[in-house]
Structure 1
Amino acid sequence: MTTSARRVQGVYLTLLLGNTLAASFIWGINTLFLLDAGLTNFEAFAANAFFTAGMVIFEIPTGVVADTIGRRASYLLGTVTLSLSTALYWLLWLWHSPFVWWALASMLLGLGFTFFSGAVDAWLVDALSVTGYTGSLEAVFGRGLVVTGVAMFAGSVLGGVIAQATNLGVPFLLRAGVLVLMFVFAFIAMRDLGFTPDTTMGPLKATRNILAQSIEHGMRKRSVRYVILSAPFASGVGIYAFYALQPYVLQLYGDPKAYSIAGLAAAILSLAQVAGGIVAPRLRRMFAKRTTTVIGASLGSIVVLVLLGLTAFFWFAVVLLVVWGFVYAVAGPVRQAYLNDMIPSKQRATVLSFDSLFGSLGGVVVQPALGRAADLWGYGTSLVIGGAIELIGIPFLLASRRQGDPADTSGAHGNGDAIVSGS
């Protein structure tokens, strides 16, 4: 590996470390935070749905920023937007504001994350290509998953402990502060390599062009289309389950005020994510096709969600949490590498954002629906229903597999797959 490629990976991993540490301060207590502000389960998950609705609305416009102004500019705007909207969240909690304000603030959070989605991965792949990296994409994404898992563990534990020692609002302030530090780091260390921003078109024309390119390279290519169409089911259920598990674990534990236990649950998921990130490239080489790994992990996730919903024992639920986090993490790097290998370099950020948009669409519908199910029948039943919803995405993955795209078998053996620029 060249020195330049090693430096690119170092910057990428640092960005993931800072982003995840900032985000994970509140992951273990976010639902508890919303409920403490006076929201019902339905309203809490509806607020999360407005967050994902914000991602749906802003994915394409922020994709224009990444593909016309630059990936670095997109990242910097994301840190500023997220820091300010996180501070606003804290103020709404402080004031016990009505739901409508939570909905608006959640959409601003969604805007912040869309500046990241697609842009960071596209920056990495383009920069590695121009620096001569010929290794495995799964290996790089797997290292990223390990780093985010470690950061998630540290942030989740600290967030839960700090919330219990102080109050539920302090972790949100810590999150805003870390995001400011990440802005400074990215401003100094991040440079657009292997990508030349296109500023020849105005914003509206660029938006139309980006949307057209998303459709051309995303929806019209069948192998890519079916992967994207599977995203709403897995992503929608995954987001709901992650946040629903906070109060559900406390319910099984028997103490609704044990915020450190909620943080521990998120930390357990992070450790499982670390293991998944390490194992994913090795599991990939055991199968001829990438889709085998992704489909197998999805089926495993469904089974675990059903078992989680049916159990009444805290420690068994903890074991299931580990398994769910592991299988969910294994699918991530392989799915990322599969998509990246099917997308031309020039449209990479756009199509990845389009994929994220479809995942967000699932969250808009699934989260409030399952939140309402939790209000009516309990968290356990809502997780079982979630497993059934995730199952709907499996036929789409099978359809992508049947297309026989070369990306499905790329890197099955040996050292890995070379990064393709696409044409």
Structure 2
Amino acid sequence: MNPAARRVQRIYLVLMLGNTLAASLIWGINTLFLLDAGLTNFEAFAANAFFTAGMVLFEVPTGVVADTVGRKASYLLGTVTLAVTTALYWMLWVWHAPFVWWAIVSVLLGLGFTFFSGAVEAWLVDALTSVGFTGSLEAVFGRGLVVTGIAMFTGSVLGGVIAQATNLGVPFVLRAAVLVVMFVIAALVMKDLGFTPDRSQGPIQATRTVLRESVEYGLKKRSVRYMILAAPFASGVGIYAFYALQPYLLELYGDTTAYGIAGLAAAILSLAQVAGGVLAPRVRTLFRKRTTVVISASVGSVLALIALGLNSMFWLALVLLVAWGFVFAVVGPVRQAYLNGMIPSKQRATVLSFDSLFGSAGGVVIQPALGRAADLWGYGTSLVIGGVIELAALPFLFASRAQHDPSDTAVALTDADPGVAPEPGADASA
């Protein structure tokens, strides 16, 4: 690997480290934080649904920023927006504000995350291409997963311990502070390489262009379309399960005030993520097609969720949690590499944001529905229902596999050149 490619990867890993550390400070206690503010299970997961609704609403407009102003500008706007809205979340907790305010601020939190979605990943792939990198994308994304797993473990453990020693609000204040630091770092080290922003259109016309290109290079290209259509089921259920496991583990443990145990859920997932990131490139070599890995992981996730919901023993829940987190971690880099190999460079951030939009749309509907199921029948039953819902992703994954896109069997970045994708609707044979 040449020195320029190493520098690009280092910057990417630093960004992923800082982002995940900031986010994970509250991941282990977020549901408990909302419940402590006086919200019911339904309201807590409805607040999360408003967050994902914000991501749906703003994915396209912020995609315009990434593609017409620049990936760096999009990242910087994301850090500022998230820092401010995280501080507002803390204030709502202090005031025990009514649900309507939680809904509003949650939407704005979603806005902050949409500045990140697609932009950082597109920045990485374009920059690597521009400096002559010819290695495996799975390996790069796998390293990113290892770094974010370490950051997630550190942040989630610290968040739980700090909340236990102080209160549930302090980790939110620390999260805002870390995001400010990341703004400064990104402003100094990020440069848009291999990508020239198109500023020839006004914001309204640019938004229309983004929507058109999302359809052209996303929904009209069959292999991409089916992967995107699978996203609402896997992402919607995954988001719910991640946050529902916090109170569910406390319930199995027998102490609803043991916030450190709640942080343990996120910590365990982070360790599974590290293992998955390390092994993802190796797992990929065991299969000829990337979609085989994606489909196998989806089945594993369904089985793990159902087993978690039917289980009543705390220690076994931890084992199943590791299994669920591992399959999620392994599939991430492979799915990323598969999608990136099918998208032209100019539209990369646009289509990746569109994929994120569909995943968020699933969370808007699935989270409050499963939250209501938890109110009525308990967390265990809601996880079983979630596993059944995730099964709906499988037909779309098989349909994507059936298109035989070159990216499905590619092993390196240049094997399926993301800068020269097949015409929409005209998938190539392997």
TM-score normalised per structure 2: 0.97
Query: Which deviations, in whole Å up to 9, do the C-alpha atoms of 1:207-253 show, x marking residues without a partner?
Result: 00010000000000000000000000000000000000000000000
| RMSD (Å), alpha carbons | 1.0
Residue aligning to 2:243? 243
Aligned residues of 1:160 and 1:263 also touching (Cα < 8 A):
yes
Q: Residue 232 of structure 1 aligns with which residue?
A: 232
Residues 12-411 of structure 1 aligned to structure 2 (within 5 Å) = 12-411=12-411
For 1:49-101, what per-residue CA distance to the aligned partner results, in whole angstroms no more than 9, with x for missing partners?
A: 00000000000000000000000000000000000000000000000000000
Counterpart CA distance in 1 for 2:58 and 2:418 is 28
1:107-152: per-residue Cα shift (whole Å, max 9, x none)? 0100000000000000000000000100000000000000000000
User: Does the Cα contact within 8 Å between 1:252 and 1:314 map onto a contact in 2?
Assistant: yes
Separation in structure 2 between the aligned mates of residue 205 and residue 121 of structure 1, nearest angstrom: 24
Counterpart Cα distance in 1 of 2:283 and 2:185:
34
Of the three residues 391, 397, 421, the one matched with 2:419 is 421
| Residues 282/397 of structure 1: CA separation in 2 closer, same or farther (3 Å cut) | same
CA distance in 1 between counterparts of 2:40 and 2:347 reads 41
1:91 partner amino acid: M
Once residues 398 and 4 of structure 2 are traced to their aligned partners in structure 1, the CA distance between those partners, rounded to angstroms, is 38
Amino acid at match of 1:257: T
Is residue 146–residue 273 contact of structure 1 (8 Å, CA) maintained in 2?
yes
Cα drift, residue 416 of structure 1: 8.8
**Aligned mates of 2:212, 2:265 — CA distance in 1:** 42
| Preserved contact between residue 341 and residue 416 of structure 2 (Cα < 8 Å) | no
Q: Distance in 2 between matches of 1:224 and 1:241?
A: 26
**Preserved CA contact (<8 Å) 2:342 2:416:** no
Contact 2:406–2:416, Cα closer than 8 Å, also in 1: no
1:194 aligned counterpart, secondary structure: coil
**SS in structure 2 at match of 1:393:** helix
**After superposition, what is the alpha-carbon deviation per residue over 1:338-376, rounded to whole angstroms, capped at 9, x for unaligned?**
000000000000000000000000000000000000000
Question: Residues 308-355 of structure 1, C-alpha deviation per residue, up to 9 Å, x if partnerless?
Answer: 000000000000000000001111000000000000000000000000
For residues 320 and 208 of structure 2, the distance between their equivalents in structure 1, rounded to whole angstroms, comes to: 45
CA distance in 2, matches of 1:201, 1:395: 39
**Contact residue 117 and residue 356 of structure 2 kept, 8 A:** yes
Paired with 1:263 and 1:221, the residues of 2 have a C-alpha distance of 41
How far 1:422 sits from its partner (Å)? 2.2
User: Contact 1:136/1:418 (CA < 8 Å) preserved in 2?
Assistant: no
Contact 1:146 1:278 in 2 (8 A): yes
Instruction: Check conservation: 1:125, 1:419, Cα contact below 8 A.
Output: no
Does the 8 Å CA contact 2:407/2:416 hold for their aligned counterparts?
A: no
Shift, 1:2, TM fit: 1.1
User: SS of the residue aligned with 2:420?
Assistant: coil
Aligned mates of 2:260, 2:415 — CA distance in 1: 42
Whole-Å separation in 1 of the counterparts to 2:414 and 2:330: 17
Whole-Å Cα distance in 2 between the matches of residues 416 and 78 of structure 1? 31
Asked if the contact 1:401–1:408 (Cα under 8 Å) also holds between the matched residues in 2, the reply is yes
Distance 1:417 1:258 in 2: 50
Partner of 2:425: none
CA distance in structure 1 between the partners assigned to 2:370 and 2:87 by the alignment: 28
3-state secondary structure, aligned to 2:276: helix
Distance 1:141 1:328 in 2: 13
CA offset at residue 420 of structure 1? 3.4
Secondary structure of the residue that 1:91 maps to in structure 2? helix
Cα pair 2:407 2:415 within 8 Å, conserved: no
Question: Does the Cα contact within 8 Å between 1:129 and 1:419 map onto a contact in 2?
Answer: no
What is the rounded CA distance, in whole Å, between the counterparts of 1:159 and 1:266 in structure 2?
A: 10
SS of 1:115's equivalent? helix
Runs (4+) of structure 1 exceeding 4 A deviation are 415-419
Q: Any conservation in 2 of the 1:134–1:419 contact (CA below 8 Å)?
A: no
Query: For the residues of structure 1 that align with 2:408 and 2:300, how far apart are their CA atoms?
Result: 20
5+ residue gaps, structure 2, are 422-430
Structure 1 contact 24–159 (Cα < 8 Å) conserved: yes
CA contact 1:135–1:419 (8 Å) conserved in 2: no
- Output the CA distance in 1 between the equivalents of 2:55 and 2:91: 22
CA distance in 2, matches of 1:399, 1:70: 34
